[in-house]
Structure 1
Amino acid sequence: MKKTLRYNYRLNPTPEQEAKLIEFSATARGIWNLLLSENMRRYEYDKTFLFYKEMASLLKELKPCLLYTS
């Protein structure tokens, strides 16, 4: 029996779609780095971490700021 381990897809976005994908990835990377630095800061301070629930509540607070930065 042959198992398929993965599927490969190729995207051919329009220039507008490509710009949106680049913007989305930059925003996601920025959010990741922000939450990572917050976790590192907290761990250095009191050896605790932010978990999903706390991160989600932080994202709700950040959402209005992220919508109007572009």
Structure 2
Amino acid sequence: RTSSDEALAVRIREIYDAVVELIERHRPGAVSVEDVFHGKNARSALKLGHARGAILLAAAHHDLIIAE
């Protein structure tokens, strides 16, 4: 979990860095990422989309197969 006191860009970078660390430690051949769904709170869905993008970018930088 990232700190809500931090700027959004900093929080996204923290997510990216954490995912990269996991990828490098466990060396998966593929990742699976769920689609963002729009519930009652569009703002939350948008922030979740940012986190999803950080995960997808980390996976792409490591040439992993991505299942969505």
Q: TM-score range by the shorter chain?
A: 0.3 to 0.5
Greater RCO between the two (CA within 8 Å, min separation 6)?
2
Length-normalised TM-score, structure 1: 0.35
Structure showing greater radius of gyration is 1
Higher strand share: 2
Higher helix share: 1
Length-normalised TM-score, structure 2: 0.36
